């Protein structure tokens, strides 16, 4: 089932088709009650009431949720393409793509986020990449904090030190 959600259907080794193969399909008329753990590719057209996670540390695992798909529970996957609904926290450790009809009610933890106009998030966006500290401190990686200027107040006058 290569070619889902705009991936390259040639089956070649291009990066757009990597991880896009669907190994498991939850159909439109299917409702899963309970947690789902998967590896490879999982495509959801139906409903899942429970958390969705990957087996082990499978960084190539991919979850796609169509416009008719819905998940009520937390999601933790490396890569996710969402055009349906998630009620719960979403944690994409590699990449999260939100299509125009995507709806998330919960916090979104991401490393790379792609969001089309029309997608909605009712919660916080929380960045979890390796540049997190540099982004918060406005310092470049490797820049020392000790190079800053220290001011001292002596006898009511400012004396510059360092």
Both tokens assigned to 141: 């990686």
Task: Specify if 144 maps to a domain.
Answer: no
Examine residue 84 and state whether it is found in any structural domain, yes or no.
yes
Number of domains in the chain: 1
3-class secondary structure, 12:
coil
143 in any annotated domain: no
pTM of the shown model: 0.71
pLDDT in tens, the chain (162 residues): 444 443 333 333 333 334 468 999 999 999 999 999 999 999 999 999 999 999 987 789 999 999 999 999 999 999 999 999 999 999 999 999 999 999 999 999 999 999 999 999 999 999 997 764 555 555 555 655 555 445 455 555 555 555
Closest CA to 53 of 30, 34, 31, 27: 34
* Residue 87 located in a structural domain: yes
- Containing structural domain, residue 35: 4-129
Q: In terms of DSSP bridges, do strands 157-161 and 150-154 run parallel, antiparallel, or are they unpaired?
A: antiparallel
Nearest Cα neighbor of 128 from 111, 108, 141, 107 is: 111
- How many residues does the structure list for the chain? 162
Q: Domain for residue 33, yes or no?
A: yes
Indicate whether 152 belongs to any domain: no
43 domain-assigned:
yes
- Sign, CA dihedral 121-29-60-4, equals negative
Tell me, yes or no, whether 96 lies in a domain. yes
């Amino acid at each position: 089932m290569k070619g889902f959600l705009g991936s390259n259907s040639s089956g070649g080794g291009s990066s757009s088709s990597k991880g896009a193969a669907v190994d498991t399909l939850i159909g439109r008329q299917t409702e899963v009650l309970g947690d789902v753990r998967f590896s490879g590719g999982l495509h959801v057209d139906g409903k899942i009431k429970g958390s969705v996670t990957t087996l082990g540390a499978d960084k190539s695992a991919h979850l796609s949720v169509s416009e008719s798909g819905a998940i009520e529970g937390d999601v933790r996957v490396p890569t996710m393409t969402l055009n349906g609904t998630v009620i719960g926290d979403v944690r994409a450790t590699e990449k999260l793509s939100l299509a125009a009809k995507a709806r998330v009610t919960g916090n979104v933890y991401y490393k790379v986020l792609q969001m089309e106009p029309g997608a909605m998030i009712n919660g916080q966006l929380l960045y979890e990449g390796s540049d997190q500290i540099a982004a918060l401190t406005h310092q470049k990686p490797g820049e020392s904090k000790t190079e800053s200027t220290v001011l001292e107040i002596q006898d009511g006058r400012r004396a510059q030190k360092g």
